[in-house]
Structure 1
Amino acid sequence: MSEAIRVPRKPVTGHRAWWVAAVTGTAIVVAGACSTLPGILQGPLRHDFSWSRGSIGWAVSVNMVLYGLTAPYAAALSDRFGVRRVVAAALLTVAAGAGLTTIATAAWQFTLLWGLLVGAGTGALSMTLGAAVTDRWFARHKGLVTGVLSAASVLGQMVFLPGLSWVIDHHGWRPALGTVTLAALAVVPLVVLVLRDHPADVGQRPYGGGVFAAKPAPVPGAARRTLTVLGEAGRTAPFWLLAGAFAVCGASTNGIMWSHFAPAAHDHGMPVTTASTLLAGIGVFNVAGTVASGWLTDRGDARRLLAVFFTLRGLLLLVLPLIMTATVRAPMLAFVVLFGLLDLATIPPAIALCRLHWGEDSAIVFGWTNAAHQLGAALAALLAGAARDAFGTYDPVWLALAAACAAAALLSLAVDHRPPR
């Protein structure tokens, strides 16, 4: 248990919390750059190696599953070894996986390097990291900061995707992976120099807090604690309702949009570079939508926000097959704006519900919820590729995901809004 003593309130201008959040966000940006790469790598990999969409989808699904499974353990490891060490190790793992993928020549090697190494590294840099940093460094504006850090992942897509697509078109896919490798390595010194595990490390209170809290002692047995928290949360209905809703969330965002939107648009005659630009546009509006969601979460009912977001997302997926054309027209631009506003808007209310029900263990519980998110994403990435190979179109996939979003809205409303006694 940490001590708590009252100290005179100091000006919060230049509080270290904002620098910590900025470096954390930068690391999440690099991880986000990896999430959309498979969508623009499909064509070059199939051209160079004649791999099927299904085999590429398998590697992507392994990446997504490991991303999800790594997140809760990374939260517990942060309590054991510190956030700075975990983030630095994760960035080095991403750099190793992306760099070694440039010499892969077989589908199993792509699965091993991109699926396992990059999946594990980016999993440690997921929004579970953002939730842990927010809980430690902020007493006020938690929803807003959560929204900003959630948006960082999509900001990575927005910043890197058009450039990486251009690099692939003009220089090939290997230099694109090299760019991601260098970006991950470049962030490591920032992590070492700026990131700190707890406000007490620099003699400060959490931002907006009225008391100084001593840094908690390292928590041993990270793996055991992660599983213990899962066992305790797994005996409650809110956990399974949130996990079910977030499995649909992953399927309808990362699983399909970031892995198959570009190939689906290309089926309608749209150049991959144009489709990549549309995805980047989704990222632009995602930042605004996720930050706004965090602001609303600080002020409203998180369950109802989740239900509204899922309902609107389902409606957008329902109409997507009708508006895909070879050229970008007004309906597609409207889709980009609206889907961007909704894409990651589900994260702040989900984290708020985890805090409500599980308190100090909320980052780990959200990590397991995020694992369900990635499991849904992995299934969508795998099955969507197989469906495209079987039916020659993605249309049935969009319809199925629209129906799943409607179910997720109902699951969200069923989550108890009262804290446990």
Structure 2
Amino acid sequence: MTHQTRTPLLHRAWPVALVAGLAIVAAAAFAGMPGLLVDPLHTEYQWSRTSIGAAASVNMVVYGLVAPFAAALMDRFGLRRVAVAALSAVMAGAALTTLMDHAWQLTLYWGVLIGAGTGSLAMTFAATVAHRWFVRRRGLVIGALTGSSAFGQLVFLPALAWVTDTQGWRPAVVTLALSAGVVAVLVVLVLRDHPADVGLRPYGALTDVPRPRAEEGAARRTVRVLARSARRRGFWLLAGVFAICGATTNGILWTHFVPAARDHGMAVTTAAALVSTIGVFSLVGTVVSGWLTDRFDPRLLLVAYFGGRGALLALLPALFGPDAGPAMIAFVVVFGLLDVATVPPVILLCRRMFGADGAIVFGWVNALHQVGAGAMAVFGGLVRDVTGAYGPLWVLAAVLCGAAVLLALRAPGAVEAERDGGDAGPAVGDGPAERSAEVRR
């Protein structure tokens, strides 16, 4: 196999990352759609909101559980095949949804099919692309790709809402399915499983990096990785940090911000626009966080992020009012910058602690993120029903952020991780040669 000795003007890694980002955006747009379907489906089919909500709950659970298995499948069958299969599942689920006439079909099509597709193109997909194709700028790429998920989920909500209101829910779903089809074509044309497939080194690598050997039994490997990593303290520290992350973002702000703002007299459209604005700044914040993760201790970054998030959530009850004043706008901007910024440091810590299994471990950690989000979403509704207000919920969220700060401080550093788990193997791109390249850069 021959390799280029000169760096091309545009390394193939960047188009690969761009197409991977488009796939993540296309999948994430489906994750933000269920909230727009509740009223139209209730009106058309007279289904209960509970049965419609059950499909969304199944979607969230499947999304979280599929991710670690998807990481192993990417190692076994390659990035491109898994991405195309995931987008195909999303398109099939969307197409079948437009033809359904029973509530259980919504659970099967949207909950299972689309949940599996979007879960396969979540953060583990981003981590795998970044670790295979990049040595330099890896943290930056992880930040950009993971930020694409929040961007796709939140920023396209206003456009999807407009299509649903003016054209109906079916055209909105069909539009998403066609978008996924276009991205699937780009994946086939551009995405490759590893730089070695096209005779290249990963971006910034000083030596050739061979394509990883395909491993049999992806599901068994995924379960084995969980069993092995669960015996180590670092796994539970990261899982606790990320469960709190899910509880204090998806679980509370994305789910309960709009009804809480409505309780204070704010228009629903204004509150939804504020949530979408958080999505815009979450992309910026995640890219910046990836850049910072390349340069600073990821544990300290997590301390800063959760400390800032906790302070903001504690202040939020005092900021609510009928109008979105300057203080609320400032909250939205800063919270957006911190919203998904936790992802690059956690991905890097998984890689440092668990080596070649890092992407699968992160998949399991991300599954607990979804568990934390779901638990807080349910608990938030309970608090509102029992107390008649959301005030106690924001206080609890702030306290949880403080607990995440303590957990992050106890996470193993690079040296401790090496002593703690030699069974994981070294992480590609984290060796002395790569670190020396960073110093020279």
Counterpart contact for 2:155–2:280, Cα < 8 Å: no
Identity %: 56
Counterpart contact for 1:98–1:118, Cα < 8 Å: yes
Flag the 1:341–1:207 CA change in 2: closer, same or farther, 3 A.
same
Matches within 5 A, 1:328-347: 328-347=324-343
Flag the 1:120–1:236 CA change in 2: closer, same or farther, 3 A.
same
**TM-score, scaled relative to structure 1:** 0.92
Quote how far apart the aligned CAs of 1:35 are.
2.7
Count how many residue pairs are aligned between Structure 1 and Structure 2.
417
Quote how far apart the aligned CAs of 1:335 are.
1.3
Looking at structure 1, the residues matched to 99 and 331 of structure 2 have their Cα atoms a distance apart, in angstroms, of: 37
Could you give the per-residue CA deviations for residues 294-314 of structure 1, whole angstroms, max 9, x where no partner exists?
Answer: 111111111111122112112
Flag the 1:372–1:145 CA change in 2: closer, same or farther, 3 A.
same
Identify the range of structure 1 (324-333 vs 200-209) with the bigger mean alpha-carbon deviation.
324-333
Identify the range of structure 1 (41-50 vs 253-262) with the bigger mean alpha-carbon deviation.
41-50
Name 1:168's counterpart in structure 2: 164
Q: Does residue 88 in structure 1 map to residue 91 in structure 2?
A: no
Matches within 5 A, 1:119-134: 119-134=115-130
Q: CA RMSD in A?
A: 2.3
Name 1:9's counterpart in structure 2: 5
Flag the 1:84–1:118 CA change in 2: closer, same or farther, 3 A.
same
Quote how far apart the aligned CAs of 1:7 are.
5.9
Flag the 1:39–1:376 CA change in 2: closer, same or farther, 3 A.
same
Identify the range of structure 1 (223-232 vs 52-61) with the bigger mean alpha-carbon deviation.
52-61
Name 2:194's counterpart in structure 1: 198
Quote how far apart the aligned CAs of 1:70 are.
0.6
Name 1:113's counterpart in structure 2: 109
Q: Does residue 69 in structure 1 map to residue 65 in structure 2?
A: yes
Q: Does residue 185 in structure 1 map to residue 181 in structure 2?
A: yes
Q: Does residue 349 in structure 1 map to residue 345 in structure 2?
A: yes
Looking at structure 1, the residues matched to 245 and 31 of structure 2 have their Cα atoms a distance apart, in angstroms, of: 15
Name 1:145's counterpart in structure 2: 141
Name 2:379's counterpart in structure 1: 383
Q: 1:231 corresponds to which letter in structure 2?
A: A
Identify the range of structure 1 (153-162 vs 129-138) with the bigger mean alpha-carbon deviation.
153-162
Quote how far apart the aligned CAs of 1:389 are.
4.7
Flag the 1:112–1:396 CA change in 2: closer, same or farther, 3 A.
farther
Identify the range of structure 1 (304-313 vs 90-99) with the bigger mean alpha-carbon deviation.
90-99
**Correspondence for 1:222 among 189, 211, 218:** 218
Quote how far apart the aligned CAs of 1:48 are.
5.0
Bigger RCO of structures 1 and 2 (CA < 8 A, at least 6 apart): 1
Counterpart contact for 1:61–1:382, Cα < 8 Å: no
Flag the 1:206–1:153 CA change in 2: closer, same or farther, 3 A.
same
Could you give the per-residue CA deviations for residues 66-124 of structure 1, whole angstroms, max 9, x where no partner exists?
Answer: 11111111010011111101001111112222333344555544333322222111110
**Correspondence for 1:405 among 401, 404, 411:** 401
Quote how far apart the aligned CAs of 1:61 are.
2.8
Looking at structure 2, the residues matched to 278 and 298 of structure 1 have their Cα atoms a distance apart, in angstroms, of: 30
Matches within 5 A, 1:261-280: 261-280=257-276
Matches within 5 A, 1:23-34: 23-34=19-30
Name 1:301's counterpart in structure 2: 297
Q: 1:62 corresponds to which letter in structure 2?
A: V
Counterpart contact for 1:40–1:262, Cα < 8 Å: no
Q: Structure 2: 5+ residue runs without aligned partners?
A: 420-441
Q: 1:130 corresponds to which letter in structure 2?
A: A
Looking at structure 1, the residues matched to 151 and 339 of structure 2 have their Cα atoms a distance apart, in angstroms, of: 12
- 3-state secondary structure, aligned to 2:192: coil
Q: Does residue 233 in structure 1 map to residue 251 in structure 2?
A: no
Quote how far apart the aligned CAs of 1:250 are.
1.0
Counterpart contact for 2:4–2:200, Cα < 8 Å: no
Looking at structure 2, the residues matched to 412 and 56 of structure 1 have their Cα atoms a distance apart, in angstroms, of: 37
Q: 1:336 corresponds to which letter in structure 2?
A: V
- 3-state secondary structure, aligned to 2:204: coil
Q: 2:22 corresponds to which letter in structure 1?
A: T
Name 1:360's counterpart in structure 2: 356
Q: Structure 1: 5+ residue runs without aligned partners?
A: none
Flag the 1:322–1:136 CA change in 2: closer, same or farther, 3 A.
same
Could you give the per-residue CA deviations for residues 162-206 of structure 1, whole angstroms, max 9, x where no partner exists?
Answer: 101222332333332222222212211001111100101111111
Quote how far apart the aligned CAs of 1:378 are.
1.9
- 3-state secondary structure, aligned to 2:208: strand
Matches within 5 A, 1:410-421: 410-417=406-413, 418-421=416-419
Name 1:284's counterpart in structure 2: 280
Looking at structure 2, the residues matched to 402 and 276 of structure 1 have their Cα atoms a distance apart, in angstroms, of: 22
Q: Does residue 155 in structure 1 map to residue 154 in structure 2?
A: no
- 3-state secondary structure, aligned to 2:341: coil
Identify the range of structure 1 (48-57 vs 352-361) with the bigger mean alpha-carbon deviation.
48-57
Identify the range of structure 1 (319-328 vs 216-225) with the bigger mean alpha-carbon deviation.
319-328
